[in-house]
Amino acid sequence: MIFYVVELLDDWNVDVPSWKYLRNLESSRLCQRFQDDDNKQTEHSIRPVSSATGTTVSRQTVYRRSGHIGLYARSPVRCVPLTATHCRLRLTWSREHALWTPEQWSCVMFSYESRFSLQSDSHRTLIWRAPDTRYHQENTIERHRYGGAGWLVWGGIILGSRTDLHVQSLTMTDHIYRDVILEQHVDITRMDWPAYSPDLNPIEHAWDMPGRRIAARQPPPTCLPELRRILLDDWCNIPQDQIDDLILSMPRRCKACIASSGRHNTTY
């Protein structure tokens, strides 16, 4: 059997789509106006509200009025910029593979590298705190600016199987990738993949599974050998049916990309 390998080299963070901050709104009518405009309004476009009405609008009023129509303050989505060429290539690729069968996807191995550090990125940690207690010790998480010590890992997923998890402290070079990782896979053809499209790769969600478990561990790992052992165990313990479900979501991913004309879309 010939396996097609999908590998990614782009820096990407797949996040949940969210609303931007809305400030200085006067009423729910204005909130609805911004909702109708796809919520792309900024502070510059609503600044004249107070001067036009002569009324100072508090931030709490903004939050309350916005909440009535389903708008909430969230962090913006972080993603790489897509040019018109990127969108066109993503759209073309999705159209070519939208009707692939499970049998065709079973010949594809999705691979990628990821990094896990001892210091949590804190993005998955939420707390409840009282006003004016933001910097109290119980409400803070100390972490290094760039994540601190950690491991670079590589893995691949296939329908019904997965590769071993390769854990190393070095950057994934071409030599390591070719001679160490792919050595066990003899018949491999690299699959054409549109640039800046890791959102189409189901292994991104596979990495999220051990990432969430590590972030939730109490106590968290305190040394690199412990983190390495946890990564290897968590990778082996991912249920295969969940991996298969991710791979079988490829038709939905392609259709979602087509529906968005090749732009960012994480609704799968």
Q: Tell me the β-bridge partners of 151.
A: 116
More confident site: 73 or 40 = 73
Query: Token digits for 213?
Result: 């478990």
Percent of the chain at pLDDT above 90?
Answer: 31
Confidence category of residue 7, pLDDT binned at 50, 70, 90: low
| Tens digits of residue pLDDT in 180-223 | 666 665 566 778 899 889 889 999 899 989 988 888 888 888 89
In this structure, are strands 150-158 and 108-117 parallel, antiparallel, or unpaired? antiparallel
Q: Rounded to whole angstroms, what are the CA distances from 200 to 14, 177, 255?
A: 10, 22, 11
Q: Rounded to whole angstroms, what are the CA distances from 227 to 115, 148, 167, 169, 218?
A: 11, 13, 10, 12, 13
Confidence category of residue 240, pLDDT binned at 50, 70, 90: very high
Q: What is the pTM of this model?
A: 0.66
